[in-house]
Chains A and B, each alone.
Chain A
Amino acid sequence: MFSTPSGMTRRHFMSHLAGASALTVPALTLGHSLRTHAAELKKNHKSAILLWMSGGPSTMDIWDLKPGAPTGGPFKQISTAGDVQICEHMSMTAKVMDKLAIVRSMSTQEADHNRGRYYMHTGYKPVLNIEHPSYGAVMAHELVDQRTDLQIPPFVSVGGGSVGPGFLGMAWAPFVVNSNGQVRNLDMGIDDSRLIQRMQALRLIETNFISQNRGSAAEEHAKVLDKTLNLMTSAQMDAFKVNKEPKEVSDRYGTDGFARGCLMARRLVEAGVPFVEVDYGGWDNHANIFTTLQNTKLPVIDKAISALVEDLNQRGLLQDTAIIWMGEFSRTPRINGNTGRDHWARSWSVVLGGAGMKGGIAVGKTNDDGTTVETEPYTSQDVMATVCKALGISLETTFTSKSGRPMKIANGGKVIKELFA
């Protein structure tokens, strides 16, 4: 377990790093000191939690059922606290559906896992000569300036790797942790003054190498070192420790990795982390889909999602926290010979809620057997634009890729208006 070296306060420790010390090399600059004008910016405490369903969950068995249709599968619909019906095996989530909205008219084109994961995370299709930043990198990049007190990484990915920071650079990469909340290798086991001295020797080598014009990888490395040091000395690391949560709270979420991840997400949001992704795989159900969903997958998400929404709501955090539930695509309406469903991107659903987005509704509509979208189709870009609006991030924001090409945030997606009516 980490503790500040020799019981020093963080402020004291940082003052050592920043200035007076035994060694006469240039003082370290820490990431936060660069953000000098942060305090002048308007405060925005909004955050987002992405519940990433890796493998591509069958949304027509969860959020947009077609009972009676040949493609419909065996599950029944139930009424909810909102003006929507969902799968019978989501009964706890049904009680919080007044807080969540289903977008039933997603229509995308990427039905390969890697391409779909990239597209849904970035709003861009994969291309060969540029790497786009993922959701978390973008949102963290936009929101972190307004969190001057944040000492831990602004983009945390629990239980999976997310998608990288692309042209924003490694400093915006997700901080990947397991759902048990134990961050490895936090403690150096030496006193703070010695750590400072080591860091100064290290900084000298880093700076020399960077000054030799070796390219951006050398500079990115130095930035990551700063962030690492920041994190090692921060009491905010407590937010990762899900086992500190009272038993009645953690029991409400459930006991598996995804449940702990959702609980950690709430703790991290409370600590001011602007973007948390929680990954839950196992949705690539090419065979035996209905038993897998009913017995394994749906009970887990039903408990955890409903607990997360309730918990955020009770703590007054839901109004500032966007929740996004989605996978890389969905699954074929047609049921295959192995009682499974294959990859399908043409007509499917995502779920959004919180941060001022209207709950209890379904946006858009698919046809009777779920094979096409009958209303205005929405894309990854549109979902991202909608989340940006909910988080108060301007859709006029433009990034410049390393090649100097301007890239519009959310790739010019349009806001799903019904969610802000």
Chain B
Amino acid sequence: MRFRALRRLVAVAIIAASSVLAIDSAVAQSATEPKESGAKPKGPIVADYGIPQVRQINQEVRQVWSDFQLSPSPAAFDGEWCRRVYLDIIGRVPSVQELREFQAGKDADRKAKLVNKLLTDESYQDEYARNWTTIWTNILIGRNGGLEDRTMTSREGMQKYLRDSFARNKQYDRMVFELVTATGGTAPGSNNFNGAVNFLVMKLDENAAQATAMTSKIFLGLQVQCTQCHNHPFNEWKQQKFWEFNAFFRQTRAQRSFVPGTRRVESAQLVNQDFSGENNDPNEAILFYELRNGLLQSAFPVFTDGTAISRNGSVNYCDRRTELGKLIVKSPFMSKTMVNRMWQHFLGYGFTKPIDDLGPHNAPSHPVLLDYLAEQFAAANFDIKELIRWIALSEAYSLSSRGTGGNKADDPLLGESPKFTHFYLRQMRAEELYESLLVATQAHKSRGSYEEQEKLKGEWLGQFTLAFGTDEGDESTTFNGTIPQALMLFNGDLVKKAINAEKGSFLHSVASSNLSPANKIEYLYEAALARRPSSSEITIANQLLVARKGDAGAALQDMFWAVLNSNEFILQH
């Protein structure tokens, strides 16, 4: 559709400015401070939705504010909060329809209802499971796991296991137990397929050093990797502890099977085998390790809290990984680590940095709250969705990301511990950007099968992964706010597709709809930023329309390009 150019446009702008059209309210809302009656900085009443855990979180966080004489920012706009919670719970921005639906609700419980909907409504279960599968795949096997040459890991198998787990809201302790104790085939379709084995299958080299370090770090928040070779420099952990923990993995073996007639790994089996010890005495299945001075020391399986299990290496007599699984799920560190991880997921910072280091040398910022939430999570049978609900409905999560004079000092980037007086900006993860662009351009409605979708996304994500070339598989990403990422958003295929204005495209459908010109711009802003455009943004959109000689599709294309490339889009705020 084409406009009759300038005259008409100017008219639209003038009408908008004289508060005849709906656009006026949008301008007013986005150009001024929030008028919401929600949390007043010092006010005593904060919504807790009748949930005791939410009330307790709010109290504990407020306690720290008053200890440090800080005041919180005002609440975020409803639209901002809505965008935030969609991104964090299901991994994408809300569609315009979803956003408007939420903003239309005026009842005091609207936030609780939305969180509940995202967690329990049938229509969101796939996206919920997809989001947490993505997050946990990266935690368990890294961004590169299953993509390396001659790997035994099946990324697909790992994802299938996680997707089933999150779709059924498996208790967290159950999931951890399964991941630690799994046996079976890595790839879907392999013998005794059990996707959970993919966590450990490539971590067994060098006497399972990685299995030891990663199991301890991911599930217990205890970083023992340094103690493989020497006593820990910062705490009392000794080298002995590493090898005692390591002893739990000595019955574990990975067996490759090849594609017939080739050296290509088809799948692998993770199995338990009798361990007769390095002295060949199965009753006393010992292992040896070297001190830095070359002397040999011995170790048997002993958990981090000092609990020893049988020294017998026979699987039938004592399945060491099953014993380890039981000990881990009983450890208070398991609950604390998960709480810390989830708090960081939603609030941007955990109670410790890094979140998976809860060692005695690394004091948490909110120790009482961390312990409390860990207890509550355990008491709620490790129900992940309950934990999400508590955090997502907390006051800290509801606050604006705009700093105020009263909380200027609260900036973790300055090396301060986080006080959560305002929402900290953070960049969307690459996967979130990908899913958000699909939803913002309604391309999600015509996607292929789950496997096809993940494959396409995986190819796109591959461009950002950098491996460091160490045996520990350390990796990093260029999706980190630097020039290559900016170039991708400027010119990459994904964005080119999102701003395509040809017939059949999203922009074409917006451009050729019977919305008013201002409403079209508004629609794009809501789709990407969950807010309406300001008056200056409407003005520049109109100028773009003039520059494009009235070609609405082309002008919307320019506008949408700018929106998708903005800090406001890429930053979770």
Interface residues of A (CB under 8 A from B): 22-25, 54-56, 109, 111-115, 117, 128-130, 153, 160-161, 164, 170, 173-177, 183-189, 193-194, 197-202, 204-206, 208-210, 212-218, 220-222, 224-225, 227-228, 231-232, 279-284, 286-287, 334, 336, 338, 342-343, 401-405
> Which residues from A are CB-within-8-Å of B225?
112
Are A228 and B562 closer than 8 Å at their CB atoms? no
B491 at the interface (CB under 8 A from A): yes
Task: Check if B469 sits within 8 Å of A279, measured CB to CB.
Answer: yes
Q: Taking the complex as formed, is B536 at the interface, i.e. its CB lies under 8 A from any CB of chain A?
A: yes
Partner of A185, one of B482, B488, B567: B488
* B515 contacts the other chain (CB 8 A): no
A209 near B568 with CB under 8 A, answer yes
A54 to B474, alpha carbons, bound, how many Å?
A: 11
Number of cross-chain contacts by CB at 8 Å? 209
Q: Roughly how many angstroms separate A36 CA and B570 CA in the complex, as a whole number?
A: 31
Cα-based distance from A200 to B470 in the complex (angstroms)? 44
Known: A113-B468, A210-B567, A214-B402. A201 touches B484 (CB 8 A): no
Contacts of B573 in A (CB 8 A): 214
- Distance to closest chain B CB from A258 (angstroms): 11
Pairs across A and B, CB under 8 Å, 25 listed? A25-B540, A54-B470, A113-B472, A129-B353, A129-B417, A160-B466, A164-B480, A170-B481, A176-B466, A184-B484, A185-B491, A197-B544, A198-B562, A204-B536, A205-B563, A205-B567, A214-B573, A215-B411, A217-B567, A218-B567, A225-B486, A284-B469, A336-B290, A338-B206, A401-B415
CB distance from A233 to the nearest CB of B (A): 12
Which candidate, B161-169, B196-204, B422-430, B449-457, is the interface stretch facing chain A? B422-430
Write the chain B residue with the least CB distance to A228: B486
Residues from 411 to 464 in B contacting A, C-beta threshold 8 Å: 411, 413-417, 424-427, 463
Assuming A55-B471, A185-B490, A232-B487, is B482 touching A175 (CB within 8 A)? yes
B interface residues (Cβ-Cβ under 8 A, vs A):
206, 225-226, 229-230, 233, 290, 294, 353, 362, 401-404, 411, 413-417, 424-427, 463, 466-472, 474, 476-478, 480-484, 486-488, 490-492, 496, 534, 536-537, 540-541, 543-544, 546-547, 558-559, 561-563, 565-568, 570-571, 573
Note all chain A residues with C-beta closer than 8 A to B568: 205-206, 208-209, 218
Chain B, Cβ-Cβ closest to A230? B483
How distant is the Cα of A174 from the Cα of B417 in the complex, in angstroms?
27
CA distance A116 to B362 in the complex (A): 20
- What is the distance, in angstroms, from B32's C-beta to the closest C-beta of chain A? 11
- A54-B470, A160-B466, A184-B484 given; A286·B543 CB < 8 A: no
Q: Are B561 and A198 interface neighbours, CB within 8 A?
A: yes
Enumerate the 3 nearest inter-chain pairs by beta-carbon distance, A residue then B residue, closest first: A281-B469, A201-B562, A129-B415
Contacts of A25 in B (CB 8 A): 536, 540
Given A23-B544, A111-B229, 10 new contacts (CB under 8 A): A113-B472, A129-B416, A170-B480, A175-B483, A176-B466, A218-B567, A224-B482, A228-B487, A281-B469, A343-B229
| Contact partners of B414 in chain A: CB under 8 A | 402-404
| Chain A residues whose CB sits within 8 angstroms of the CB of B492 once the complex forms | 184-185
